[in-house]
Amino acid sequence: MLSYIIRRLGWGILVLFGVSVVTFVVAFAVPGDPARLIAGPHASRLVLANIRHAYGMDQPLPVQYLTYMNHLFHGNLGYAYSVSNPVLPTIAGRLPATALLALCGILFELGIGLPVGVMAAVWPQGIPDRLGILFSLFGFSIPPFILGNLLLTAFAFHWTVFPLGGESGPSSIVLPALTLGLGGAAWYSRLLRATMIDVLGTEYVRTARAKGLSSRRVVLRHALRNAAGPLVTQFGLDLAFFLSGVVVVETVFAWPGVGFLAYTAITHDDINLVMGTVLFAAVFVVLVNILVDLAQAWLDPRIRLDSFEGAG
Q: What is the 3-state secondary structure (H, E, C) of the chain?
A: CHHHHHHHHHHHHHHHHHHHHHHHHHHHHCCCCHHHHHHCCCCCHHHHHHHHHHCCCCCCHHHHHHHHHHHHHCCCCCEECCCCEEHHHHHHHHHHHHHHHHHHHHHHHHHHHHHHHHHHHHCCCCHHHHHHHHHHHHHHHCCHHHHHHHHHHHHHHHCCCCCCCCCCCHHHHHHHHHHHHHHHHHHHHHHHHHHHHHHHCCHHHHHHHHCCCCHHHHHHHHHHHHCCHHHHHHHHHHHHHHHCCCHHHHHHCCCCCHHHHHHHHHHCCCHHHHHHHHHHHHHHHHHHHHHHHHHHHHHCCCCCHHHHHHHC
Taking the CA atoms of residue 26, residue 32, residue 37 and residue 40 in that order, the dihedral angle to the nearest 10 degrees is: 170
Name the phi and psi angles at 164, rounded to 5: -70, -20
Predicted confidence at residue 308, as pLDDT, reads 46
Distance, in Å, from the CA atom of 19 to the CA atom of 212, rounded to the nearest integer, reads 55
Predicted confidence at residue 90, as pLDDT, reads 92
Cross-strand pairs, 86:
79
Predicted confidence at residue 298, as pLDDT, reads 67
Residues with pLDDT less than 50, the chain: 307-312
Of the candidates 141, 124, 116, the one whose C-alpha atom is nearest the C-alpha of residue 191 is 116
Predicted confidence at residue 311, as pLDDT, reads 42
Distance, in Å, from the CA atom of 260 to the CA atom of 238, rounded to the nearest integer, reads 18
Domain residues of the chain, as ranges?
A: 88-311
Name the phi and psi angles at 256, rounded to 5: -80, 60
Predicted confidence at residue 247, as pLDDT, reads 85
Sequence-distant (≥ 6) Cβ neighbours of residue 11 within 8 angstroms = 312
Predicted confidence at residue 186, as pLDDT, reads 87
Find out whether 251 and 267 touch, Cβ atoms under 8 Å.
no
Of the candidates 179, 300, 296, 177, the one whose C-alpha atom is nearest the C-alpha of residue 237 is 296
Look up the pTM and report it.
0.76
Predicted confidence at residue 312, as pLDDT, reads 42
Find out whether 230 and 262 touch, Cβ atoms under 8 Å.
no
Of the candidates 231, 276, 253, 233, the one whose C-alpha atom is nearest the C-alpha of residue 83 is 276
Distance, in Å, from the CA atom of 59 to the CA atom of 72, rounded to the nearest integer, reads 18
Cross-strand pairs, 85:
80
Which CATH homologous superfamily contains domain 88-311?
Answer: MetI-like (1.10.3720.10)
Predicted confidence at residue 310, as pLDDT, reads 45
